[in-house]
Structure 1
Amino acid sequence: MGLMTFLRNRAGYILIGAIGFAIVAFLVGDAINVGKPFWAESQRVVGSVDGEDIDVEQFGAKVEQSLAQFKQQYGGADNPQMHAMAVDNVWQGEIASILLGKEFNRLGLSVSATELWDLIQGSKPSPLIVQYFGNPQTGQVDRAQVINVFKQGAKDPNMKKQLDALEEEIEKQTLQQKYAKLISNSVYVTTLEANDEYQNRNKLANFKYTGLDYTSIPDANVKLTESDYSDYYNENKKRFENPTETRSFEYVAFSVSPTKEDSIAVKAQVEKLAADFRTAANDSLFAAVNSDVKVPYSFVAKGKLDPAVDSVVFNLPAGSFYGPVFSGNSYKLVKVVATRFSPDSVKASHILLDPSKLGGADRALKLIDSLKTLVQNGASFATLATEYSVDGSKDKGGDLGTFTPGTMVPEFDNAVFSGNTGDLKIVTTQFGVHLIRIEKQIGSSKVAKLAYIEKSLLSSNKTKDAAYKKASSFLNEVKENNFAELAQKKGYTVGVADKVTPTQGFAPGLDNPRQLIRDAYAADKGDVLEQVYQMDNAFVIARLTDIRPKGALPLDAVKKEIEPMVLNAAKAKILKEKMDKALSGSNSIDQVAQKLNKTATPVPNIVFANPVIPGAGQENILIGAVFGSQPGKLSKSVAGDRGVYAFVVEGFTNPAPLANTYKQKETMMQGAGQRSLGAAFQALQDKSKIKDNRVKFY
């Protein structure tokens, strides 16, 4: 809990600091490049970027660090989604580190020794220095503390290693900031562009239109040809660029959720357990042995327990028994052992001794008892803390600030929240031996010491065996071409997981699909995967239905999904003929509408930058045509997203002239500068050869 502890606790964050910064600064969207020949790569290589291999062991260590950060940030235990997010976070960081490092060298970007010193110990500290050494309230950095830490690091090899890592991340961040500045400074907005943007956002159009919806023609009435598909595909080829390989599979899940019989059996067990709990001689031991969820045997405040329990037990006197009550997916049993009123928060100071450095626990206790006597006789607690404590708070005279229940380890918590202001207490915890002084206690609320048992409603082995038997039987019977047919015959529901990426941590309806996804990437299209996959709530049998490689997808691969758009394009041809016929010989939009048995709808005050027609939705092509037309002139037919239209512009309202373009340019340059960072990084990736073998390992 000294300087080493300070650095040890933050080492993971120091090591992945640049990764997070690079992703925030330079990555826009999921720009992952994936290749297929996984088995041809080295067993130790998780991927490569521009010929630089990424070692799986080093990559794995960074994943663990990233995962630890996510756990702290988001709370909860590790799960497939969080793990996939950590893997992707590190992968993106590796790409950024390698590609940007090469760019820095090519451009001659560097951080001088003087510059680095100023960022660490000077008047312009790095954000990382502010984060780790700054005062949380003021943000000010204690330069003397920083200098002291680095002096001690020169004498301690382990500390020096961590400080070197910190220096490296500060240098990386600084280089990234320089690169970002270089890119953003290359962006320029002309006066013409500024005025054009101003007009687009402020010029108003008033027009009147009539339309024929695509829904007016039933799909069954349209016979699509191969030419219809190819025409649409060729006109929209850029839409079919696949940024990463994906695979789709269908599956049948055999549930292992508790049955009615399981519920009855568990309830009977819990009722017997409740009877034994009521008469147990040792409440805390009985609870610890029998509970599925371990709750510390200590005083807890209201609001910390399941609502079904929390709303009741704090109104019960000591000695009361509550339960069994079913909430969530478990039964709860509670004994109220004791109640009292306790401070809502406490301000305390401490002196921490490390027994391993003093020859054992006995010597540490003897020294801490001597320090307690000195304080009782008038010695300065702060001075003794500065001299003897091994904790980082020694530089503040042992001051730990103000904290709430549950902040400290249980032994420490119990001492400060059960005592009185001014008390001196000696406590042993996992960190060592503490002399604690309670400086101040704030507020007062009822707390309770509870013996708590929670028993989850789980499926029996009989239920699990039955589900596994069904899954195995289905796997033995199913063939590549009869998966859906056999499932339907047996009354099973077929689920679909569409366009799953190699490192995806989730799939619709499946709670732990990573092994299934990995195997899908080693299979061929049409294969039934040769395994019964065990999820948290089901056994699963799956069949690979589609493989979409990275790059431009062929027409056959997207034919089914573009069918609705192709239908609309075919309908547009039919409706345009009808609209053109109505336009022929007409002098007004009302005449056109009348011929179509429609009405002409007025639309006031539309701006080009927001092409949404009230009641009709977004129609970019129509609004673009409106702003490109002359007032009073009847338009030609326009095929939009929802139908075919004709219109007449009734007039435009121009905004006041832009007197000063400076602010408009500045706003546009900021936006363009931010977009340019993402574009620059994407360009680096597009020019690079990136092999991604992560699915082999995760």
Structure 2
Amino acid sequence: MGIMSFLRNRAGIIIVGAIGFAIVAFLVSDAVQMGGSLMNSNQTEVGEVDGEAISVLKFNEQVELNTNNFKQQMGQSNLDPQMTSYIIENTWNQQVSKILMDKEINRLGLQVSKNELNDLITGKNPDPQILQNFGDPQTGQLNRVQLNSFLDNIKTQDAKSPVSIQWTSFLLNIRENKLAQKYNNLVKNSLYVTSLEAKEDYNQRNRLANFKYVNLEYASIPDNQAKITDQDYKDYYNENKYRFKNLQETRTFEYVVFDANPTKTDTADTKAIVDKTAADFRAATNDSLFVSINSETKMPVSYVRKGQLEAALDSAVFASSNGAFIGPIFSNGQYKMVKVLNIKSSPDSVKASHILINPATEGGVDKAKAKADSIAGLIAKGASFSELATKFGTDASKDKGGDLGTFARGAMIPAFEEVVFNGKTGDVKVVTTQFGVHVIKITGQVGSSRVAKIAMVDKSLASSSKTQQLAYSKATSFLSTAKDGESFDASAQKSGYSKLIAENVVATQSSIPGLDNPREMIRWAFGADKGDVSEQVFEMGNKFAVAKVVDVFEKGTLPLEQVKKQIETAVRNKVKARMLTEKLTAARNGASSIEQVAQKAGRPVTPVQNIVFANPVIPGIAQENKLVGTIFGSQPGKLSEVIEGDNGIYVFVVNGFSSPAPLTNVFKQKVQVSQALVQRAPGEAFKVLRDKADIKDNRVKFF
């Protein structure tokens, strides 16, 4: 009876508990059967911001987009590891910023209405991006005819067409910028500077202090005489715990590098090949073909302006004449040789428009060229180039009537440049490039300077396979003996190898001392434990390396043991301060003037003039915040207590203060202080959002 009563009274609890247990058991069982998929869910996520995942697929798409934009802006086709790392970091910050701002904007209920968006496009004060894309370069004003023509064209496009998709993305970007502007304005408008704050700021920047001091410097005591105890470390750590907050996980690792730089034999062999190539190049009759076969960078035969080549080559080319052969010249690890084919005067820049015909949609290059010739014929008879570009063009410039703007040499591909820089204003030309068939109109040419048409062949000084293999063999031999942390150190010492150290490396870091592209090594380090030695030899260009993780610094407040080395100097100065304070206190006791303190301490009196609170630097010493702060809170003529500073201990006396002229325009001062706050406000507000957010960064798994 007792059991039945117990079950009736607690039946609900028992049933809920049983169901909960069954669900957990089911999930655990499912995870095991699926190979731990619950634990591995972030294998497709590059990170997470406040619970919102960033998929690696979408992140890679944005990285690729930013990379292409960067290449276009910088005029580069290849990016080094540092530039690639910069783009990845910038993309990550964009993603984090967007998620945090979207959450905050939604929380505040900020919106951009349809009328607002229309006003940003066609209104009296269009968005800067609209002006940039549809503005008249001559007047800087919006070209409303061009804009309206584009908008009419968009209405005829399918919603899934590339142009429509790009325009939708463009509008979303304008909307997001407007929302961010509203949020920043909200933050800025919440700031207020009182009259009291304005007056205090004015005084801090203009009130002058004149004083004299006697000091004992920490450097006066040898380090070996200042014995540090464990309690000294603990006291300093506890007083300054806020300083040891690690915002992101870092690793410190040691590594031994085995160089495979070119030997004397490698250099001699390369030079022999270069000399033979130079002789063949001199005799070559088809320079373009020779360059494409023998050059490493395969720079097209084209015109260059002065300053485009590296200094030694540039000066030699423009000091030569037609038919000259220059080189081989060795620079930046490469041998370079140049044929100067023609030197002449040419426009500095050209303004042009074009209509691009796509052979793929026309049934081949011949049909595309025939269509281009027909269009050129219509233009010759007086047809509007702009209207024909809008109708027949296949690239983004068609929305601007084919206008490509003004550009200098190097901005376009060689075949295109050959036409626009060698023609004259008003010419209409047809040319075929790898992008299609162009109908080109030269609408203007600016300036004139010398240019040189060159054919260039280059060859890098590289290590031979024998040299590479020898360095790799040394690395693998060392790795075979360095199985753990202790044997790593012992083997390095026994073999006479120098250990380099990379301290406080973050997961996304792109470079470390002595290595060009250490990403693989860094990724390994963030998957290893303290004391682990790499199980492979890392190859980075002409260098091979073996590494050992020395320490792991987790995100959050670091423990005392991990910061001991970092704080050793500061703690020792604390010990020295105690030793010196006893001496200076004895000198101060019974003294009625700063001169008496100096005499008893055996130190000079140092006068200081015109120190301001806002710039607490003591001439001849360094910044001393505590000392200067105490001075501005002291009475003139009164001998101070012993003050412990960053560089030594001090006793001072204030001679007097020079107050600035009365602040007559408080409003102006408030505006100045407010402007400084307003400039910092957006960045500081975002920093707060980021600090309070739960951000998980998994980029090290993918990049």
Same fold (TM over 0.5): yes
Q: Does 1:239 align with 2:240?
A: no
**Structure-2 separation of matches of 1:381 and 1:69:** 28
Q: Kindly tell me: are residues 261 and 343 of structure 1, through their superposed partners in 2, closer, same or farther at Cα, counting changes over 3 Å?
A: same
Q: Which region of structure 1 is more displaced relative to structure 2, 355-364 or 453-462? A: 355-364
Who is 1:666 aligned against? Answer: 671
Q: Is the 8 A contact 2:627 2:645 kept in 1?
A: yes
Show the 5 A alignment for 1:112-511.
112-154=113-155, 155-156=157-158, 157-158=160-161, 159-373=163-377, 400-421=404-425, 423-439=427-443, 441-478=445-482, 479-511=484-516
Cα displacement string for residues 633-692 of structure 1 (whole angstroms, at most 9, x for unaligned residues): 011111101000111000001111212221222222233344443443333334433222
Q: Is the 8 A contact 2:463 2:542 kept in 1?
A: no
Q: What secondary structure does 1:459 align onto?
A: coil
Cα displacement string for residues 141-172 of structure 1 (whole angstroms, at most 9, x for unaligned residues): 23343343344334232222222222222222
Cα displacement string for residues 460-517 of structure 1 (whole angstroms, at most 9, x for unaligned residues): 1111101100111111111311433422321222111000111111222221111111
Q: Which runs of 5+ in 2 are unaligned?
A: 1-36
Q: Is the 8 A contact 2:150 2:399 kept in 1?
A: no
Q: Is the 8 A contact 1:582 1:592 kept in 2?
A: yes
CA deviation after TM superposition for structure 1 residue 585, in Å: 1.1
CA deviation after TM superposition for structure 1 residue 437, in Å: 4.4
Cα displacement string for residues 573-615 of structure 1 (whole angstroms, at most 9, x for unaligned residues): 1111111101011111111111122110110010000011111
Q: Kindly tell me: are residues 378 and 72 of structure 1, through their superposed partners in 2, closer, same or farther at Cα, counting changes over 3 Å?
A: closer
**Structure-2 separation of matches of 1:396 and 1:172:** 25
The one-letter amino acid of 1:285's match is: L
Show the 5 A alignment for 1:81-96.
81-96=82-97
Cα displacement string for residues 268-307 of structure 1 (whole angstroms, at most 9, x for unaligned residues): 1111222222223423212221111212112333332232
Q: Which region of structure 1 is more displaced relative to structure 2, 57-66 or 439-448? A: 439-448
Q: Is the 8 A contact 2:134 2:400 kept in 1?
A: no
Q: Kindly tell me: are residues 96 and 189 of structure 1, through their superposed partners in 2, closer, same or farther at Cα, counting changes over 3 Å?
A: same
Q: What secondary structure does 1:524 align onto?
A: coil
Q: Kindly tell me: are residues 562 and 415 of structure 1, through their superposed partners in 2, closer, same or farther at Cα, counting changes over 3 Å?
A: same
Cα displacement string for residues 59-97 of structure 1 (whole angstroms, at most 9, x for unaligned residues): 111122223333344554323322222222222222222
**Structure-2 separation of matches of 1:677 and 1:383:** 44
Q: Is the 8 A contact 2:216 2:650 kept in 1?
A: yes
Q: Does 1:107 align with 2:112?
A: no
CA deviation after TM superposition for structure 1 residue 216, in Å: 0.5
**Structure-1 separation of matches of 2:645 and 2:375:** 83
Who is 1:55 aligned against? Answer: 55
Equivalent residue in structure 1 for 2:540, among 535, 539, 548 = 535
Q: Which region of structure 1 is more displaced relative to structure 2, 156-165 or 134-143? A: 134-143
**Structure-2 separation of matches of 1:167 and 1:691:** 30
Q: What secondary structure does 1:187 align onto?
A: coil
**Structure-1 separation of matches of 2:92 and 2:667:** 41
CA deviation after TM superposition for structure 1 residue 310, in Å: 2.2
The one-letter amino acid of 1:496's match is: I
Who is 2:29 aligned against? Answer: none
**Structure-2 separation of matches of 1:186 and 1:599:** 52
Who is 2:70 aligned against? Answer: 70
Q: Is the 8 A contact 2:468 2:542 kept in 1?
A: no
The one-letter amino acid of 1:140's match is: Q
Cα displacement string for residues 346-373 of structure 1 (whole angstroms, at most 9, x for unaligned residues): 4445454444454543344334434545
Q: What secondary structure does 1:318 align onto?
A: coil
Q: Percent identity?
A: 53
Q: What secondary structure does 2:215 align onto?
A: strand
Who is 2:528 aligned against? Answer: 523
**Structure-2 separation of matches of 1:99 and 1:567:** 43
**Structure-2 separation of matches of 1:310 and 1:680:** 49
**Structure-2 separation of matches of 1:439 and 1:689:** 55
Equivalent residue in structure 1 for 2:626, among 621, 637, 642 = 621
The one-letter amino acid of 1:87's match is: I
Cα displacement string for residues 539-584 of structure 1 (whole angstroms, at most 9, x for unaligned residues): 0110000101111111111011101000000100111111110101
Show the 5 A alignment for 1:630-669.
630-669=635-674
TM-score by length of 1: 0.89
CA deviation after TM superposition for structure 1 residue 133, in Å: 2.5
CA deviation after TM superposition for structure 1 residue 410, in Å: 1.4
Q: Kindly tell me: are residues 394 and 283 of structure 1, through their superposed partners in 2, closer, same or farther at Cα, counting changes over 3 Å?
A: closer
The one-letter amino acid of 1:588's match is: S
Who is 2:588 aligned against? Answer: 583
Q: Does 1:44 align with 2:49?
A: no
Q: Which region of structure 1 is more displaced relative to structure 2, 258-267 or 328-337? A: 328-337
Q: Kindly tell me: are residues 656 and 340 of structure 1, through their superposed partners in 2, closer, same or farther at Cα, counting changes over 3 Å?
A: closer
**Structure-2 separation of matches of 1:411 and 1:93:** 37
Q: Is the 8 A contact 1:342 1:447 kept in 2?
A: yes
**Structure-1 separation of matches of 2:149 and 2:380:** 31
Q: Kindly tell me: are residues 117 and 650 of structure 1, through their superposed partners in 2, closer, same or farther at Cα, counting changes over 3 Å?
A: same
Cα displacement string for residues 444-471 of structure 1 (whole angstroms, at most 9, x for unaligned residues): 4443332321111001111110110011
CA deviation after TM superposition for structure 1 residue 395, in Å: 7.2
Q: What secondary structure does 1:173 align onto?
A: helix
Q: Which runs of 5+ in 1 are unaligned?
A: 1-36
CA deviation after TM superposition for structure 1 residue 393, in Å: 5.8
Aligned length: 662
Who is 1:9 aligned against? Answer: none
Who is 2:13 aligned against? Answer: none
Q: Kindly tell me: are residues 38 and 604 of structure 1, through their superposed partners in 2, closer, same or farther at Cα, counting changes over 3 Å?
A: farther
Who is 1:30 aligned against? Answer: none
Who is 1:7 aligned against? Answer: none
CA deviation after TM superposition for structure 1 residue 47, in Å: 1.6
CA deviation after TM superposition for structure 1 residue 325, in Å: 2.3
Q: Which region of structure 1 is more displaced relative to structure 2, 97-106 or 219-228? A: 97-106
Q: What secondary structure does 1:325 align onto?
A: strand
CA deviation after TM superposition for structure 1 residue 249, in Å: 0.3
The one-letter amino acid of 2:302's match is: S
**Structure-1 separation of matches of 2:468 and 2:314:** 33
Q: CA RMSD in A?
A: 2.5
CA deviation after TM superposition for structure 1 residue 374, in Å: 5.2
Q: Kindly tell me: are residues 84 and 406 of structure 1, through their superposed partners in 2, closer, same or farther at Cα, counting changes over 3 Å?
A: closer
Q: What secondary structure does 1:632 align onto?
A: coil
Q: What secondary structure does 1:63 align onto?
A: helix
Q: What secondary structure does 2:330 align onto?
A: strand
The one-letter amino acid of 2:96's match is: I
Q: What secondary structure does 1:212 align onto?
A: strand
Cα displacement string for residues 84-134 of structure 1 (whole angstroms, at most 9, x for unaligned residues): 222222222222222222222222211112112212222232233233333
